[in-house]
Structure 1
Amino acid sequence: MSADQGLNQSVERATSVLATFLDAGADLRVSDVAQRAGLGQSTTSRLLATLEQLEYVERDPATALYRLGPAVVGLAGAAVNRHPVHREARQRAQELACATGLGANVAVRRGASLSYLCNFEGRLAPRSFTLMGQRKPLHATGLGKCLLLGLGPAQRRELLPDLPRFTAQTLTGHDALDAELAAVAERGYAVEREELALGRACVAAPVRDHAGEVVAGISISGPLSAIDLPAREAELGRRIVEVADAISVGLGYVGPRHQSATLDGVRS
């Protein structure tokens, strides 16, 4: 048992070291990694040396600073390529970005946040980085609102006891969020206007699986000037719902169960 516990502790420490790089805006020193991971500097140094040999991190020879290595990229690529939503959504999201000139993003829920599976940039919404793997809040994003449609009010309150404010437009009360999600369910798509970041907006729609459960969301996003919601909301809403429906059909979705039951009753 002690050997198992020691092995688990080593794995935990190694993964905590890797996790320190997720939100790092630059390469890190050993001391930076140790502080972020909550480990001693000598322990961190040994772990980094092992991870470097395995290519999970790499060290810049000029600065001696560490960054994530190519082995992580290989694992990440394998993980997303095997995800059924990614397989169904990737090509359609790419075509959507090309057709609209905006960003097209696909995300799933991971606990109390959303996690991006893929994103593509249109000519009107360029980015110098990928969103894949990044996490964002559910209540302050169009994608997150779509993902929350799969939960009831009580479940949402348990999952998100607090709704942090990011801008003056962020919904910070559950009653307001309930009302917003009711409107999303009614029209079929969610809208987010500067609720997470100033100057940006998106239109998103839920993706469902063969059982009718919300398993992902897809969005069109970009700067306010490019997405032009006052003039284009209806058009973009219709387009994103059509793409989301196509992905859902690819996942085996055949429509609301109550509609199927009604049709069966008519036929009989």
Structure 2
Amino acid sequence: MQRRGYLALCGTVCGGLAGCSGDSNDTPDGAVAPASDGYPAQSGTPSTERDIDTGSFPTTTVEGVDVPLAPIDATQYWYREGTARFADARGRAQYARSHITGAVLSPAPDGGADDPVSDWPNDDRIVCYCGCPHHLSSLRAATLIKNGYERVFVIDEGFWEWQTRGYPVSGTAVTSRPAVQRIRGRTAADDAGQTAWAWHEPTGQREATPIAEGGSYTLELRFSDVGPDSTIAVETPAYRVEDSLDALTTRTVTGT
């Protein structure tokens, strides 16, 4: 991602967080007390002990790093046992609406300001997740691996499958699932394998997708509280475009 876009995004993402009614981390005045350790507030019913062969997990290569994609049932087992920390790689507004209970906000790619993960031991098991279903979280995981974290995984099926299965979720809108809006674009063929980004700056919501061979990409946005006239920014290594959601979803974005 080009530096100017990331800095603009980080400034929004690191801003204020709306209160979360019904969140187990709520303070008495309704403001969120952000999670800091990434563990569930309390363990669930003890699970039947099982062996998980993490070496058998498929991987995705992001930024030159092989990131393990963990099946959701394995991550839910770790969650129930309290043997993994969870990090949400999406934007602050998305996190506020619904997130895995106990998970911290650690936006892709670098965690943003005051990232709680930076205080975690490098040998702890860390599970990153997003909703696309795993590109944003793979970007965050790749950065952590580059920084020396030894046991980092991504939920392969993503956050929305976690929600669908009825696993623990907290936030202001835990039962909602925003509709998908698709932005299709094309950039330079040399950008294949890199990342295309989209975000709504007022709320800090973002999405990302790998650029395919030939330079094509499709961004699938699950943004809340945006309408056809909302301004969305789209950025690839070759260009940055800002336009209404309606305009971006009814044409192929090319940067011209």
TM-score using structure 1 length: 0.23
More strand by share: 2
Give the number of the structure whose alpha-carbon radius of gyration is greater. 1
Bigger relative contact order, structure 1 or 2 (CA pairs below 8 A, ≥6 apart): 2
More helix by share: 1
TM-score using structure 2 length: 0.24
